[in-house]
Amino acid sequence: MGKTIVEKVLSEHSGVDAYAGDIVVAEIDAALVQDGTGPLAVQHLQKLGMEKAAKPERTVLFIDHAAPSPRKELSNAHKILRNFAAKTGAILSEVDEGVCHQRMVEDFMNPGEVLIGADSHTCTAGALAVFATGMGSTDVAIGIASGKTWLRVPETFKIYVTGEFKKGVYPKDLMLHFIGMIGADGATYKALEFCGPTINAMDMSGRFTLANMAVEAGAKAGLFNSDETTKGYLEERGRSDKWRPVSADEDALYERVYEIDVSDLEPTISCPHVVDNTKTIKEVEGTKADQVFIGTCTNGRIEDLRVVVQIMAGKSRNPDTRLLICPASKQVYLQAIEEGLLAKLITAGAAIINPGCGACVGVHAGILGDDEVCIATQNRNFQGRMGNPEAFIYLSSPAVAAATAIEGAIADPRKYL
């Protein structure tokens, strides 16, 4: 019987002929923790007397959620990670280097590999045909020390996408639309496999956005074929030797198949306080926004910043709206400087934030006031997400966010393109 991508990758890593429903113990190629989950993982390993990393060169400890540290408690938590790195040889990603998921795809992961991470958006690397999934500190601690993890091989939903995006409509709109359609628990436990002509034509940046939000539908992983686009991405980063084709077999068994035509898709917004509360732009246009936040592992890449500049160049933010822009990584930050994007954004009224996760998770750098409304390009709008349970978060593409910054209220980007 043919196999899905996840069945193939987990068979290779467990040494058994694995299918959906099987329990396997799999070798992991890489593991990550961040400054919210890593200190607990280190403490677990100390308790077990196993303060070591089976693959230190591919164990990455990220200081990205509170980077640089806004408080002494967090500075002390960071020391736990720095000490563990010094002791084990694991890689430390410091406060200047950016969001874990962006760096993992830029610098570490290759098609056909297995990544576990103590962060739910670890699934981002699925865009490179990596079986990548989020787990807690205990699972990842044991994975770091032993080089293994246990997994139940998930069933797969195939998402077959056709049609061309209209002007002003992006992969983010597709993903919000899909989550609105199946619900925030619509794919609980399952793997998603994205394919079809629209996906084949999509750049890596768009694929990362889709894979990143797989968990917002409840999924364990969001996977893509490894193709020529994947190859090009690795080549640009000096890893062409790591490329290999990965795809499902023709006769693989899927639990469900969804077919989506994006030709008529509208800019789509997720409204407070759950991600599946989606509406089209027409339904929410005009909602006043106190803050616009553009960045994160979902939409903080160079392609996203280019769209924002395309819409905002020569214009200014509304005087009553704050505009925060956070490049997802140091690489993105430097490239945005080289391309002259940041100067244009700063001129338009943007405050540039150091690459990291702080604003999105409500730790620092962009915490909302009571009753305030923020439109953000991130992946979550839960109550309290941006540091205040009395605030309201809408999720959108970078284009909608940019148009909203200009008007001070949720706006359709198409008039600016």
Partner 1 sequence: MQIKGKAFKFGDSISTDHIAPGRLFHLRTNLPELAKHVLEDADPEFAKKVQPGDLVVAGKNFGLGSSREHAPTIIKLAGVGVVLARSFARIFYRNAINVGLPVLICDTTQVDQDDELEVDIGKGEVRNITKGITIQAKPLPDVMVKILNDGGLLEHFRKHGGFALDA
Residues that bind partner 1 (CB under 8 A): 23, 25, 36-37, 39-40, 44, 47-48, 65-66, 71, 73-74, 76-77, 80, 117-120, 122, 134-139, 141-142, 146, 148, 150, 152, 184-185, 188-189, 215, 218, 220, 274, 361-363, 367, 380, 382-389
> Closer CB to partner 1, residue 186 or residue 206?
186
Residue 1 beta carbon to partner 1: minimum distance, rounded to whole angstroms: 23
Residue 59 beta carbon to partner 1: minimum distance, rounded to whole angstroms: 16
Contact 272, 99 (CB under 8 A): no
Residue 388 beta carbon to partner 1: minimum distance, rounded to whole angstroms: 7
Strand ranges across the sheet with 373-376? 278-280, 268-270, 392-395, 373-376, 291-295, 322-326, 350-352
Task: Please report, for residues 155, 359, 390, 392, the alpha-carbon distance to residue 371 in angstroms, rounded to integers and kept in the order given.
Answer: 41, 17, 6, 7
Rounded-to-integer distance, Cα 386 and Cα 216, Å: 17
DSSP element (H, E) containing 341 = helix 341-347
Q: Which residues pair with 24 in a beta bridge?
A: 151
Residue 366 beta carbon to partner 1: minimum distance, rounded to whole angstroms: 11
> Closer CB to partner 1, residue 76 or residue 162?
76
Residue 16 beta carbon to partner 1: minimum distance, rounded to whole angstroms: 12
Q: Which amino acid is at 135?
A: M
For residue 246, is it left (φ>0), alpha (ψ between -120 and 50) or beta?
A: beta
Residue 251 beta carbon to partner 1: minimum distance, rounded to whole angstroms: 27
Q: Which amino acid is at 259?
A: E
Question: Pairing mode, if any, of strands 191-195 and 156-162?
Answer: parallel
> Closer CB to partner 1, residue 82 or residue 282?
82
Q: How many CA atoms does the CB half-sphere of 264 hold within 13 Å?
A: 2
Rg of the chain over CA atoms, in angstroms? 20
Here the tokens at position 331 are 């690489």
Residue 166 beta carbon to partner 1: minimum distance, rounded to whole angstroms: 31
Residue 410 beta carbon to partner 1: minimum distance, rounded to whole angstroms: 22
Q: Which amino acid is at 353?
A: I
> Closer CB to partner 1, residue 124 or residue 225?
124
Residue 228 beta carbon to partner 1: minimum distance, rounded to whole angstroms: 32
Contacts of 353 (CB under 8 A, 6+ apart): 295, 324, 325, 326, 359, 365, 366
DSSP element (H, E) containing 330 = helix 330-338
Rounded-to-integer distance, Cα 293 and Cα 325, Å: 6
> Closer CB to partner 1, residue 141 or residue 176?
141
> Closer CB to partner 1, residue 43 or residue 287?
43
What count of other Cβ atoms lies within 10 Å of the Cβ of residue 149? 21
- Grouping H, G, I as helix, E, B as strand and the rest as coil, residue 283 is helix
> Closer CB to partner 1, residue 142 or residue 289?
142
Residue 103 beta carbon to partner 1: minimum distance, rounded to whole angstroms: 17
> Closer CB to partner 1, residue 188 or residue 316?
188
Nearest to 182 by CA among 282, 280, 278, 284: 278
- Grouping H, G, I as helix, E, B as strand and the rest as coil, residue 31 is strand
> Closer CB to partner 1, residue 251 or residue 370?
370
